[in-house]
């Protein structure tokens, strides 16, 4: 055997830590696009029709190449025409939707305007059962009483389902959605990352209580972009009515965690639709 050509790595056991699949959760990407109407007008009619068919097929959640979750929405305003939210354990399956879209028959008429790459996670501020017990005590509940035990048992019973929804979410069937990226401040006088965990937890508990006031109206998914994108977190909100999006964001900005420590990126408000509905709305005269 030629020792120069021998590579021991070829004969080593595979490392289970080497993988594109997270140990917990899914990859999540948001993509935003604009149609180039000039390019579309210059397309031959048969080519444009084929492009519309390919567009609709690719963005069908039941398509053979679709990731585990695929949501299409119509973006309000001039920042984009439509948006995709894609989630899957495999980042290449997520990315493939964007690549196939840009390489498809309508690709020349699409302008990618923004994207955010992140992972789902269970926040460190989600209480474990023992921490929830401590919270109950701080709120005046006495350990061992029927009330204390009932509340603790109820929380323990729903914690698994809540964490599963955070890591592998089902997307709600609500029509209005909003996405925005955000950071936590690192200014000398307002540095989130120099606060103690207890103080950060207190602030996030307050923030969470405000959000709970919108139960049944708004639901959210927080994904982490730290090390993956320019912003640290991505916030996706869904609501039964666009008015609730305005209400919850306004109310939560008075919480100290937002008022003192949060920095927000651009907001994208959109309305959930099928790919066919997107085409009819954005390109009503193109067949």
> What residues are labeled active site?
180
* Integer Cα distance of 286 and 105 in angstroms: 14
How is residue 201 written in tokens?
């937890």
Contacts 24+ apart (CB under 8 A), 14-23: 20/90, 20/91, 20/92, 21/89, 21/90, 22/89, 22/119
* Integer Cα distance of 219 and 237 in angstroms: 6
How is residue 115 written in tokens?
């994207």
Residue 278 · residue 82 · CB < 8 Å: yes
How is residue 255 written in tokens?
């919480």
Residue 233 buriedness (CB in 10 A; 0-12 / 13-18 / 19+)? buried
């Amino acid at each position: 055997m030629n020792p120069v050509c021998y590579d021991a790595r070829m004969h080593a056991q595979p490392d289970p830590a080497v993988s594109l699949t997270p140990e917990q959760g899914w990859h999540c990407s948001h993509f935003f696009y604009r149609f180039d109407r000039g390019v579309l007008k210059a397309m031959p009619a048969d080519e444009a029709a084929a492009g519309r068919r390919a567009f609709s097929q690719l963005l069908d959640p039941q398509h053979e190449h679709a990731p585990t979750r695929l949501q299409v929405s119509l973006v309000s305003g001039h920042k984009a025409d439509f948006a995709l939210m894609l989630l899957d354990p495999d980042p290449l399956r997520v990315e493939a939707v964007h690549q196939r879209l840009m390489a498809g028959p309508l690709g020349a008429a699409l302008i990618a305007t923004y994207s955010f790459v992140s992972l789902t996670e269970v926040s460190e501020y989600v209480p474990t059962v023992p921490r929830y017990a401590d919270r109950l005590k701080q709120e005046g509940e006495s350990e061992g009483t029927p009330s204390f035990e009932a509340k603790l048992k109820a929380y323990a019973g729903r914690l698994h389902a809540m964490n599963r929804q955070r890591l592998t979410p089902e997307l709600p069937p609500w029509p209005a959605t909003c996405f925005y990226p955000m950071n936590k401040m690192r200014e000398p006088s307002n540095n989130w990352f120099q606060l103690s965990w207890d103080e950060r937890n207190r602030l996030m508990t307050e923030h969470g209580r405000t959000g709970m006031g919108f139960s049944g109206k708004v639901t959210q998914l927080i994904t982490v972009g730290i090390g993956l994108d320019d912003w640290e977190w991505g916030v996706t909100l869904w609501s039964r009515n666009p008015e609730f999006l305005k209400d919850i964001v306004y109310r939560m900005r008075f919480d100290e965690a937002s008022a003192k420590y949060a920095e927000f990126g651009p907001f994208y408000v959109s309305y959930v639709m099928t790919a066919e509905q997107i085409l009819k709305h954005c390109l009503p005269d193109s067949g």
